[in-house]
Amino acid sequence: MTKICPNCGKDIKKDAKFCPFCGYKFKDNPKSSVPIAHEDSQPSHQAAAVSQMPKQEMKREYKNKTPQKPMSKKNKIIYSVIGVLVILLICFYAWGSNYYNRDNQISRIVSSLKNPNQSGAQYISCDNPEVKITTESVKPLQRYFQDHTTEADQLITDFRVGNESGNVRLAQTGRYFLLFPKYTAQVTSVTPKLVTNHANSEVKIGKKSLGRLTKSGSSYVKTIPAMLPGKYNFSIKSNVEGRNLTATSTNNVWSSNNINLDIHTETLEIKSVPNGIVYINDKKVGTLNSGGNLVLKDYPITKNMTLYVQGTFNKKTLTSKKISDLDHDLEYGDEDNVVTQSGSKYVIKPEWKGLVTDDEATRVLTSAFDKGSLDEDDFVDGGGNDSYGELTRMFKTYDDEDDLRTYESDVKIKSITPNGNNSSLVTYTVTWTFEHDDYNRHQVVEYTNAILTKDDNSAKIKQIGSGKLIKDHKVSTSNDSDDD
């Protein structure tokens, strides 16, 4: 005996609880595969249709239906991995479209050009295939733009509008991941010539030796192989009148013109801060003594010579203003008298930002320690300055002494050193003379760690420093003997 499955129309055993073809579950103890309507209820249209449908027609209707098997675990994993990869690719493309955007690449290129501490090789290309682009070969270009940030920032505008800026232009030189355009700062190479006035001269660019120069007319010449433009340090060794001399020169090289490395010598006396270190062309050449002096005898002078002093003050390392064209100042002088000639030598006094002069410090401190001249305008923050309040209270104390007739002060500057932040650290003494009814008193107070700032070429007091009594001498105006 068989029955017909109402789901797929197949013939199955009459007592089967499940259809072996489609998995349909029958009700318990069914009398027929077709639901039987109760006498008091109306048969559904579906039941009526099934009951009236011939057996062969039901088989034809369901013979093309294939049972759906559940997806295997392996296929689920494969489809899941594919789905994740598709999502990752979409996210990567969205990220790459932003990161490798033309404007964003320009910003990274220019930022790298201004930072010699960053490897910039990936952002630079050259029109000359003979020039190798490496981390070291692009540093001179980076050093130049570090000193000329305004020019570097102008590159952003030029690159975006498609302008060529001197030897540098924006170029598309490939693609990232075959999807995103790659842009670099394409630089025109230069092949300058080094020229000197001495035979047997050996020249170096940085630490790399270029060999000896060869005679050409009355000069000696060496053509440098093609290289990127930028800021270069050249050094030359020559034998002058039996003495071996080494000269250095820092040059911004942007063309293939000659670079003059002629050598002559001068005696230089540098005067600055005690124990400061003197640098010429970024190379340490000596240390100032405790008096702030250093003499360099017969020092070789070259074109584009630079000089500055570096010192440590209150655990802070500070650098003086750089003299950027010392050879010019030696020959023609300078408006600020930083370089002056004294007999057969040149005296050089590098300036420090915010460093006040002895005269400026003497004037403002003398005024501060004189009640009649005390002016809040001589103090940082005016009348709200703590030192201004301290001096005001001090003068009031003196005025309140009944037997004190007069008092006066005399300020002497002992030392002035840079303090950073446009300020100076000053040590000075104040000698007081107090006239009492029957005696005079002389006191010397030494002040340390006083801070003066520079404001429109005048000094202002930030703090008068800490005072320490170093001398106290009492002189009797009666017939009594002196008391110390």
Specify the pLDDT at position 48: 46
Specify the pLDDT at position 74: 85
Give the up-direction half-sphere exposure of residue 189: CA atoms within 13 A in the CB hemisphere: 15
Q: At what angle are helices 139-147 and 149-161 packed, to 10 degrees?
A: 110
The CATH architecture of the domain made up of 264-348 is Sandwich (2.60)
- 376 DSSP assignment: G
Specify the pLDDT at position 32: 45
Those residues with Cβ within 8 angstroms of residue 260's Cβ, 6 or more apart along the chain or in another chain: 195, 196, 303
Given the structure tokens 């500057």, which residue do they identify? Answer: 413
Task: State both tokens at 224.
Answer: 């440098």
Asked whether 114 and 145 are in contact (CB, 8 A), the reply is yes
Q: Coil, strand or helix: which one is 20?
A: coil
- Cβ-based neighbour number of residue 128 at 10 Å: 13
Q: Coil, strand or helix: which one is 346?
A: strand
Q: What is the CATH number of domain 358-476?
A: 3.10.450.50
Dihedral of the alpha carbons of 330, 333, 336, 338, in degrees to the nearest 10? 20
Q: Please, which residues bridge with residue 176 across strands?
A: 180
User: Identical fold at 264-348 and 358-476?
Assistant: no
Task: State both tokens at 74.
Answer: 């392996």
Domain ranges of the chain: 2-62, 100-187, 193-260, 264-348, 358-476
Asked whether 28 and 16 are in contact (CB, 8 A), the reply is no
Q: At what angle are helices 149-161 and 102-113 packed, to 10 degrees?
A: 160
Phi, psi of 211 (to 5 degrees): 90, -170
Task: State both tokens at 76.
Answer: 């689920």
Those residues with Cβ within 8 angstroms of residue 192's Cβ, 6 or more apart along the chain or in another chain: 223, 224, 253, 255, 256, 257, 258, 259
d(CA 126, CA 188): 6
Write a three-state SS string for 298-314.
EEEECCCCCEEEEEEEC
Residue 218 identity (one-letter amino acid): S
Phi, psi of 259 (to 5 degrees): -115, 115
pTM over the 0.85 mark: no
Burial (CB count <10 Å: 0-12, 13-18, 19+), residue 97: exposed
- Cβ-based neighbour number of residue 199 at 10 Å: 14
Specify the pLDDT at position 66: 57
Q: Coil, strand or helix: which one is 200?
A: coil
d(CA 196, CA 100): 47
pLDDT by residue for the chain (484 residues), tens only, comes to 788 888 888 888 888 888 888 888 887 654 444 443 444 444 444 444 444 555 555 555 555 555 666 778 888 899 899 999 999 999 999 999 999 999 999 999 999 999 999 999 999 999 999 999 999 999 999 999 999 999 999 999 999 998 877 889 999 999 999 999 999 999 999 999 998 887 778 889 988 898 888 888 888 899 999 999 999 999 888 876 566 777 788 899 999 999 888 877 889 999 999 999 999 989 999 999 998 999 998 888 877 889 999 999 888 899 999 998 898 999 888 888 899 999 989 999 999 988 998 999 999 999 999 999 999 999 999 999 999 999 999 999 999 998 899 999 999 999 999 998 889 999 999 999 999 988 999 999 999 999 999 877 789 999 999 999 999 999 888 765 555 5
d(CA 448, CA 425): 8
Task: State both tokens at 6.
Answer: 């109402």
Strand pairing report for 258-260 and 339-342: unpaired
